[in-house]
Amino acid sequence: MSFLQDTEIRPFRIQISQSELDDLRDRLARTRWPDELPNAGWDYGVPLGYLKELAEYWRTSYHWRQHEQRLNEYPQFTTTIDGTNVHFLHVRSPEQDALPLLLTHGWPGSIVEFLDLIGPLADPRSYGGDPADAFHLVIPSIPGFGFSGPTRDKGWDTRRIARAWAELMRRLGYGRYGAHGGDWGSSISRIVAEVDREHVCGVHLNYLHTVPPNDADLSGLTKEDRDRLERAQRYRSAPAGYMRLQSTRPQTLSYALTDSPVGQLAWIAEKFYEWTDPACRVDNDRMLTNVMFYWLTGTAGSSARLYYESAKTKGKIGCPVPMGVAVFPYDLALPVRSLAEREYDIVHWSEFEHGGHFAAMEVPDLLVQDLRVFFRRFRNGKLE
């Protein structure tokens, strides 16, 4: 792998043509709707009434240009790493001694997940916080996702992405930085610490699987710990349909999702409904902006390929630097601290009463505060 062919960092702005937006509205107006069993609820998938209402809102009330303008308020760039285009936000703090922080999203997310974190993390002084908690933020789109997609060659698994992230931070001139992620961002952030250990000071996660070895002594676990393991085991032993399809037939799936905006909407909206705290639902505009990152870039298939590529990767993911974990109760699976401590150097652990898989969108204030607290130990070269 060579990163030396083209290291230019190019300014970028999102500029979607009006013809693409008109085509989207036309397709939504011509949706061919399926039937539905009476009283099916969510048992068979996304309910027809729910999706019709959401699609009509998308067609008639959602205004992409407003969100495009907000996104373009942040400095954006692209660069070529390992032969693929990488799109990223790079928001430098007004505080010169801010700590660089790499934020990585997951599926079916995008950089849209982090919009509510940018101001408070980069400029805490303006949000009533301590300027000593400031971060320089690097927020890349995973290769194959959004404006980093589609990828053009095989092999873009989590380890290859992590190596690309390490190269990105090197190009930006950051010799020491932290990493944060949830979903795929959790795996990628830990691997970044493996491949760039000398430069990563700490890793913060809001999603972590704890899988005990077959011979592990579990006698000291509490009932809550055992319940968490059972829940995680159910999730692993019977993977959801989306995971099976994306891990095995991403190309076949891509035809439907790339051709039908309602198909793409249903594929993502289901996850935002099932994986979030009912008290903290992500609002329709923010969810639709996230969906637009897949629709407008035609990356339903290339984003799904991350599951296919990573399914071939075996072995546990380590993390050689101190780790912090934020646990949100409506996430897919909840980690067990005592098991996590057997594998990682856990120096910070928070349990929250609200929030789910998309914590940065559901409860941004909680996540901001947890990131501030965790990374304080690494400020000014400290490691406590």
CA geometry: angle 352, 273, 55, nearest 5 deg: 145
Does the annotation mark 183 as catalytic?
A: yes
**Which position has the token pair 């060579």?**
2
Nearest one of 144, 200, 145 to 168, comparing CA atoms: 200
What's the CA gap between 91 and 328, in Å, rounded?
A: 27
Catalytic residue among 62, 177, 307, 330: 307
Catalytic residue among 105, 136, 204, 357: 357
Residue type, 273: Y
Does the annotation mark 357 as catalytic?
A: yes
Catalytic residue among 183, 277, 331, 370: 183
Does the annotation mark 43 as catalytic?
A: no
Distance of CA 128 to the CA centre of its chain: 27
Residue 140 half-sphere exposure, CB side, CA atoms within 13 Å? 31
Residue 111 half-sphere exposure, CB side, CA atoms within 13 Å? 31
CA geometry: angle 118, 84, 315, nearest 5 deg: 80
Query: Under 8 Å CB-to-CB from 242, ≥6 apart: which residues?
Result: 267, 270, 271
H helix runs in 260-299, sequence order: 261-274, 284-295
Distance of CA 354 to the CA centre of its chain: 19
H helix runs in 78-222, sequence order: 115-122, 158-171, 184-195
**Residues that are catalytic:** 183, 307, 357
